[in-house]
Homo-oligomer: A and B are copies of this chain.
Amino acid sequence: MEPRWLSQDERAAWLRLVAVTELLPGVLDSQLRADSGLTHFEYYVLAMLSEVPDRVLRMTVLAQRTNATLPRLSHVVRRLEDRGLVQRSPCPDDGRATNATLTAEGVAAVETAAPGHVDTVRRRVLDQLTPPQVQALREVTDALLVGLDPDGRLSGLYDPDRAQRHGG
């Protein structure tokens, strides 16, 4: 079955979007790795925990907010626990569940890593855009997420209102 091919404009936009998604992870990862010994994903795990009351989240919720599969998160959290940045403990409410708690060292790690990370985000990304373009980026990505995240699994990451329904 022959699909509708892409128009000139669509193709141009699409190829650039692909290029951005290819390049962005590398930029974030290498800066964080070099300066803080953290993967971008590890940083996000710690950051998500640091923004939440008591700095505790159940593995499932944490996985949703970081767009990780449970196996992936399990491995990462185990490594972070080995490094003393996170503490795992059984959830009292549900014998199956595990809580991941950010330790004091974990807090320190996030606070140490944050400035350099934010600086990279500024210089490599946001400073390239005019204020109207920032607004446009927000609107476009919002629309894209409808197609990419139809169940709102990641909504905790970008939409505080929907976070309560899905991640709370």
Contacts and interface: CB of A to CB of B under 8 A. Distances in A.
A118 to B, nearest CB: 5
20 contacts: A1-B115, A3-B119, A6-B121, A6-B166, A9-B131, A10-B126, A13-B141, A16-B137, A16-B145, A17-B24, A17-B137, A18-B157, A19-B67, A20-B141, A20-B144, A20-B148, A21-B24, A23-B145, A23-B154, A137-B140
- Bin the interface of chain A by size: 35 or more
Given A124-B148, A125-B17, A5 B118 contact: yes
A72 to B, nearest CB: 11
Interface of A: 1-6, 9-25, 27, 44, 67, 115-116, 118-119, 121-131, 133-149, 154, 157-158, 160, 163, 165-168
A12 to B, nearest CB: 5
Contact of A5 (B44, B138, B168): B168
Contacts of A14: 121, 125-126, 166
Contacts of A160: 12
A143 B133 contact: yes
Contacts of A126: 6, 10, 13-14
A130 B154 CA distance: 23
B20 A21 contact: yes
Nearest to A16: B141
B129 A140 contact: yes
